[in-house]
Each structure stands twice: as structure tokens, then as C-alpha cells.
DNA sequence: GTGAAGTGTCTTGACGTCGAGGTAAATGGG
DNA sequence: CCCATTTACCTCGACGTCAAGACACTTCAC
């Protein structure tokens, strides 16, 4: 089955036969697929009355385990947004009662963001919905293919995640 | 080499051992990698004084071949943005002299967006820069692995690209 | 201890995107 | 033909993000 990137690459080969556009076969697909996934996630979360950005923050806290709290800085590295964005997100989630801001007892510059009970429940429900949707998308691939794909992607993401970028 | 998604998946298995979070091994990596790529692209384009969104539009037109023109609607499907966004993008590119808006002679509702000479040159230069950067990122993988990865990704993107979603 | 550098978070303003809705033109069944 | 539907693009207001910089506190070398 052909996809939009096949058409894109073919067009470049016609227009710029002097260039080697092979990198696009991988990385343009990654970007485009991510964009499609964003849209799909938005729909899935809407059923639980959550925005994607809310899900990202709530689940980061949920994964941290009891007592479900992290510093804004820790949330930054997990969600890949800037500090100003995170401040704004925490404000809005706090206003909705899904998280609470607490002073960090060990560093007076610091803050701890704690998930409320409602926040935890909402995160759990939305996660279940997301996994169901993602399973459907991945049904295109065999389990072995999924494992292979995960491994290849890990090789590309590891440098970004380990060398501060 | 471990990446952030390995840590994320391990955390979920600890916190929610009842759930099968295997889909995240693939799709969270896709989303995170795309985010890293966005940042890297922004840096690469800055050297050519282009924004990512400008690159996306200009190269879509460049790929179309002489006379380098497409309708806003065709640009939508290639760039995965909404029509309001595209109108805005075309406005700004036209103001910078990189594209021109022409009436579509065969449909009076329609518009054709045409690349200017300067727009074409800028697109060509930025593309070369992008490819160099992407090649560096993909050096993590062997040619065979890159081919495999492209094939697996195609299987996931094809349904999105072919069934209107 | 003290001052300089580093760290953690928040503030601000500009910007780009989205979604909903609006207008105008094309299409097609009766 | 004609009217309902569809298609193509644009307008507008709300919203989320970013980058740069401000501020308060901590750390470390001396």
C-alpha cells in the first residue's frame, strides 16, 4: 500500500534527481504519523473530557506512583515543553482541581505538583481509552513487527533522550 | 541503549500491572521522536531564515514541479493543517514575496498559489540543509535497518493517508 | 562566610493553530 | 432549468506554545 510519503519522495526524485532524499522515507513518515496520532488522540480523549496536554501532565504524575507528585522541572523533561508552558498547564489543571501545587520542603525555590484523587481517576480512564485506540492502529502489524519497529525507533530516540537536547 | 519510553513503560508496568501497555512502545516513541525532530528542524531552518511552517508550504509547491502552483486545498492534504491555518500561511508567505495568489481560471471559487523565484531558491537551499541533518540522525541505523523502518512505518501511515481521516 | 555562578520556576508578549461559521460558486437529480 | 447540496476558501475569536528574561533561592570555590 502506497502512502503520502511515497508520493512525496517520488515527486522529489522527479524534481531534484540530483539529491538523495532517502532520509525522508523514514523521518517524514515519523512526523506525519505523529500528526495523525495527535488528531486521533484528541478524539479519544474528548470522550473523557480531557485535552491531550492535560493527559500528558496527569499521566506523568500518575506514573510517578504514590504520592503522585513531581516537580515542574521533572514534568518538563517528560513532556518536552518549555517551562512557561508547564507553568501555564499546571495553573489550569490546578484551577480544575486535577492537581495541587505544594511548596517543596527541601528547596524553597521549588514546587511539587501533586495529583488529586479526581486527577488520578481521570488519568486512569483516559489511559485505558488511549490504549484501546492504539491497539487498533497497531493491528496493521504482527507482534514481531511491532517489536522490531519499537527497537528501531529506540535507536533513533535514545540519543535525543540521553544526550541533553 | 535505554530511552525515555523504556522508562515510561517500566513505570506503567509498576503502577498499572493490570494493563497491557505494549502499544506505547511503538506509538509513544513515534510521538516523542517527532517532537525532537521538530526542534531539530527548527534549528536547521533558522540557518536559512525560514520557519518550519514556511518550509512545509514552499516545498509542497516546489515538489509540484513547473509552474510550481497548487490550490490551497491541495496544500491542506499535504501539510495536515486546517484551512484557516493555510489561508493565514499563504497570506504571510505572499507578504514576504515567497508565493503569489492567482485566481484559478477554471473555477471561480478557487485560488492557485504559485511559488516565486525567490521562494523556489529558498526552498531548495533549506531542503539541502534538512537532508544533511536528517542523514546525521539516521546514521544510527544501517541502510537495511532504515529500509525496514520505512516499510513498517508505511504500513501504519497508509490507512491514515488513504482512507480520508 | 561571601560573592559568583547555577538552578528552578514564573512572567510576559508575540505568534501560530484550531474550530466554527460564512460566502460564493459549482454540481446534479428531478 | 432550478433548488438543494457540495465544494473551496476565508474570517474570526479563543487558545496553547514559545522564547526571553526576571526573580528567588542554592551551591560552590575561595
Convert the pLDDT of each residue in B46-85 to its tens digit.
889 999 999 999 999 999 999 999 999 999 989 989 999 9
Q: Is the pLDDT of residue B43 over 90?
A: no
Instruction: Name the more confident of A69 and A36.
Output: A69
Q: Which helix (H) or strand (E) holds B115?
A: strand B111-115
Place of cell 497548487: B70
**Strand C nucleotides in reach of protein CB atoms, 7 A cut-off:** 6-13, 16-21, 24-26
Task: Give the Cα separation of B15 and B60 in Å (integer).
Answer: 45
Tell me which CATH code domain B2-158 carries.
1.10.10.10
Nearest to B3 among A77, A78, A157 (CB): A157
B45-CA/C16-C1' distance, Å: 17
| A85 closest-nt by C1' vs CA | D17
Beta bridge partners of B112: B102
Mutation target for A interface from B2, B3, B65: give the one with most A CBs within 10 A.
B3
The strand D neighbours among B residues 8-67, by Cβ under 7 Å, are: 42
Closest CA to B106 of B76, B75, B66, B69: B69
Check the CA dihedral A40-A46-A51-A54 and report its sign: negative
Which residue is the nearest neighbor of D26, CA to C1'? A107
- Name chain A contacts of B124, Cβ cutoff 8 Å: 16
Percent of chain A, pLDDT > 70? 98
Would you call A38 and B19 a contact, using CB atoms and an 8 Å cutoff? Answer: no
Convert the pLDDT of each residue in A133-147 to its tens digit.
999 999 999 999 999
Q: Is the pLDDT of residue B164 over 70?
A: no
Task: Give the Cα separation of A75 and A60 in Å (integer).
Answer: 7
Task: Give the Cα separation of A143 and B24 in Å (integer).
Answer: 13
Which residue is the nearest neighbor of C11, CA to C1'? A84
Would you call A34 and B30 a contact, using CB atoms and an 8 Å cutoff? Answer: yes
Q: Name the CA dihedral angle for B16, A58, A150, B141, rounded to a multiple of 10 degrees.
A: -150
The pTM (predicted TM-score) of the whole model is: 0.91
| B52 closest-nt by C1' vs CA | C16
Amino acid at each position: 500500500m502506497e502512502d503520502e510519503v511515497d508520493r512525496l519522495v517520488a515527486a522529489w526524485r522527479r524534481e531534484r534527481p540530483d539529491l538523495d532524499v532517502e532520509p525522508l522515507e523514514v523521518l517524514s513518515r515519523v512526523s506525519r504519523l505523529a500528526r495523525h496520532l495527535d488528531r486521533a488522540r484528541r478524539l479519544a480523549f474528548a470522550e473523557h473530557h480531557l485535552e491531550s496536554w492535560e493527559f500528558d501532565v496527569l499521566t506523568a504524575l500518575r506514573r510517578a506512583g504514590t504520592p503522585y507528585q513531581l516537580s515542574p522541572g521533572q514534568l518538563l523533561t517528560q513532556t518536552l515543553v518549555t517551562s512557561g508552558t508547564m507553568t501555564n498547564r499546571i495553573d489550569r489543571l490546578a484551577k480544575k482541581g486535577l492537581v495541587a501545587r505544594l511548596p517543596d520542603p527541601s528547596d524553597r525555590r521549588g514546587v511539587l505538583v501533586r495529583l488529586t484523587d479526581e486527577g488520578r481517576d481521570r488519568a486512569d480512564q483516559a489511559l485505558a481509552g488511549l490504549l484501546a485506540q492504539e491497539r487498533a492502529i497497531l493491528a496493521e502489524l504482527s507482534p514481531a513487527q511491532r517489536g522490531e519497529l519499537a527497537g528501531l525507533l529506540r535507536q533513533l530516540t535514545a540519543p535525543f533522550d540521553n544526550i541533553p537536547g
